[in-house]
Chain A
């Protein structure tokens, strides 16, 4: 009902009240019997009556101008003494505030803004979870083959830690492209500290158990890391790829480990070293498996800045090696700065385009040998990738069979 229609009733009621004013006064004049006594009036005014009695007196007051007048005067004189019953009907300030938040004016802007925020948050969480899952799967993939690890190995009796370390050092010197066990131990220590929860979660026991078992058999020395279980593909940043390529180029020259440590290497932006993989590498190089735990303790000690810098360098190298190993796992490899993916049984350069001019040659052909003489990196690639290889080199594609 509109306000205007209520105004009409309001005006009619006012006139009705004016007309009845005379009647009311005459009632006041002749009022004697049947009215509320003082106790009833005061009890009503103080809201001290039972509901039924109050209803009875309300009905009387609605009709009796005399009692109404008295009641009005009594109420006015009581003033603040008789407080009305406010709270039950009036919304509190807090309620009004929340009500104002839900007003259409506010909602008009708040809802879209809230939607954008929610989308952003969900996107962030999903991306983060994906990354964590990838790391977790990588850890699992690496830690599984740790148990059946014994590949062809040059076994050495499980002697002291120092002996093994020396052994690994020798292997590194012999051009295995495997960083020293100490490097790995330090890396593992950092990984143990950095990836705390991850290493403490599912992969952690595996790593630990594997470590204990693997201290007994001799450490394996293999030129190429054994193919572990498949891990999900990870995209490597370009910078990292370059670093690996540089490294691969340097590998045939069989640089000593010390020189390797000095070589510049860049680390991928998102590369995080999983503890399980570190343990696997440690097993390969024959370092004790308790390195993770020991490394963690060691890392807690204060270290000099020089040591830290050295360790950072070593970490970077480890990352590059790990990227290689991961590529193998993923049926993709990065050799000499080129990415290869196995497609239809052929290692195909990812930069290869079918429109590129392709030179076909056999591995044992004179043409191939001449090419390798000019471009040794192609030889390295062909050596490391078995079977057919398509490599794009200096704008030309070479299909090596």
Chain B
């Protein structure tokens, strides 16, 4: 909760522009402060709180609160200003124009609140807008989330063609119980078994090293390697330039290699030479693995 009266900028603006009073606005602002500041640091300085409040989107927040309070003028204003935004977001999240139109209508319905809560107020998504980011950005997030929800309802699990291929490859490898290193031409069963253990050790060490990364580095790894985003897209999620993301990724790779080597030597009893050799062998095997996948796709 606010321990001191917040700066008057927002409140003065509110009363002048939307004819709202401080009582209408204060709970919303307090909730935002609690959510984004005090949860992480309950002893946040008053100056920082005031700065936080000053940076809020006063106009958008007042518009939303006015809409929540049933101000028809505010509603008309909201629709007039953001119809294009909602339609654009719906179009990019939908397969065709009809689906986009349906999604956009759903958004407006969700925003208005078709259901009524126990206290008699409409259950509107507008209640989730904190005023921290722009209203346009928030509306796009609403569209994206609603789109995902709709997608989930329509199909629980939809595999893409590429996913199916990957799964098939993995299944084939498991079903035949063929050690992955066999692909690289290792015929000796003992050697093959040894390689398989080595691969497992390496993979576990890598998992461990990734888990130990800083949150932002881990997110970059996940975005790039797990979600298959391009560096530009991954950088956009992190709020950094593509070049920065690239440099950061190179550093992460270096760190990971060092960390994996340390884990293998310290915890698994490997020698440095074995670690290096294993890296090379696994890389060769993975190259072969990818070639096999490409061949399968070409048939």
Residues of A within 8 A of B (CB): 1, 5-22, 24-26, 28-29, 37-39, 41-43, 45-50, 52-53, 55-56, 58-59, 61-63, 65-66, 68-78, 81-82, 84-86, 89-90
Q: Report whether B226 and A17 are in contact in the complex, using a CB–CB cutoff of 8 Å.
A: yes
- A66: B residues at CB distance < 8 A: 148
- B25: A residues at CB distance < 8 A: none
- A21: B residues at CB distance < 8 A: 163, 166, 226
The complex places the Cα of A6 from the Cα of B143 at a distance, in Å, of: 39
Q: Report whether B133 and A39 are in contact in the complex, using a CB–CB cutoff of 8 Å.
A: yes
- B138: A residues at CB distance < 8 A: 38-39, 42-43
Q: Report whether A89 and B244 are in contact in the complex, using a CB–CB cutoff of 8 Å.
A: yes
Q: Which of B70-78, B114-122, B234-242, B266-274 is near enough to bind chain A?
A: B234-242
Q: Report whether A38 and B206 are in contact in the complex, using a CB–CB cutoff of 8 Å.
A: no
Q: Kindly identify, within residues 251 to 299 of chain B, every residue whose CB is under 8 Å from any CB belonging to chain A.
A: 253-254, 256-258, 260, 279-280, 282-283, 286-287, 289
Q: Report whether A43 and B36 are in contact in the complex, using a CB–CB cutoff of 8 Å.
A: yes
Nearest chain B CB to A28 CB, angstrom units = 8
Q: Report whether B257 and A24 are in contact in the complex, using a CB–CB cutoff of 8 Å.
A: no
Q: Report whether B254 and A50 are in contact in the complex, using a CB–CB cutoff of 8 Å.
A: no
Q: Report whether A20 and B144 are in contact in the complex, using a CB–CB cutoff of 8 Å.
A: no
Q: Which of A10, A12, A45, A53 has the most CB of B within 10 A?
A: A12
18 A-B pairs (CB sep. < 8 Å): A6-B257, A9-B257, A11-B287, A16-B210, A20-B226, A25-B157, A29-B157, A38-B125, A42-B138, A45-B137, A46-B137, A62-B219, A62-B222, A68-B237, A73-B147, A84-B235, A85-B240, A90-B241
Q: Report whether B250 and A6 are in contact in the complex, using a CB–CB cutoff of 8 Å.
A: yes
Residues of B within 8 A of A (CB): 35-37, 39-41, 48, 52, 55, 89, 92-93, 125, 128-130, 132-134, 136-138, 140-145, 147-148, 152, 156-157, 159, 163, 166-167, 170, 202-203, 206-207, 210, 215-216, 218-219, 221-223, 225-229, 233, 235-244, 250, 253-254, 256-258, 260, 279-280, 282-283, 286-287, 289
Pick the contact of B167: A12, A17, A22, A53 (CB < 8 A).
Answer: A22
- A81: B residues at CB distance < 8 A: 136-137
The complex places the Cα of A58 from the Cα of B242 at a distance, in Å, of: 18
Q: Report whether A58 and B128 are in contact in the complex, using a CB–CB cutoff of 8 Å.
A: no
The complex places the Cα of A193 from the Cα of B239 at a distance, in Å, of: 71
> Chain A at the B interface: mostly helix, strand, loop or mixed?
helix
Pick the contact of B233: A9, A24, A76 (CB < 8 A).
Answer: A76
Pick the contact of B237: A22, A53, A75, A86 (CB < 8 A).
Answer: A75
Pick the contact of B206: A12, A78, A86 (CB < 8 A).
Answer: A12
Nearest chain A CB to B113 CB, angstrom units = 14
- A20: B residues at CB distance < 8 A: 226
Q: Report whether A39 and B132 are in contact in the complex, using a CB–CB cutoff of 8 Å.
A: yes
Q: Report whether B129 and A6 are in contact in the complex, using a CB–CB cutoff of 8 Å.
A: no
Q: Report whether B240 and A89 are in contact in the complex, using a CB–CB cutoff of 8 Å.
A: yes
